[in-house]
Amino acid sequence: MDSLYTYFTNTLQLHPEAYLDGIVTPLLSLHMPLDILSRVWDIYAFEGDKVLLRAAVAVLWQLESKLYVDADEVIRTLTKEPWDLGKEEAFMKKLEMIREK
């Protein structure tokens, strides 16, 4: 994930507000598959806003291989297209691995 951050900030000069607003503002509902979204919202009910950022990081982690492209394609992938996040349980394990330090 660190290399994706470096690619976004150094190579593309793409700042988080360019893509995170479109991911987090609608509470992930525009692009996330319903089965995963309902699980994330369940966690949101108990843990609050912090789960939204953890879910956004999990989305970036899952889609990382598709994000080493130009800035316009990154924005399109993250804000305009449905996300292929794989199997629900595998995504939820990734979400669980992302914890506050």
Domains and CATH numbers, the chain: 2-97 (1.10.472.80)
Residues of the chain with pLDDT under 50: none
Q: Are the CB atoms for 8 and 77 separated by under 8 Å?
A: no
pLDDT value of residue 100: 62
pLDDT value of residue 83: 94
In the structure encoding, which two tokens stand for residue 16, read together?
A: 């988080």
pLDDT value of residue 27: 80
pLDDT value of residue 1: 62
pLDDT value of residue 17: 87
Q: Are the CB atoms for 91 and 85 separated by under 8 Å?
A: yes
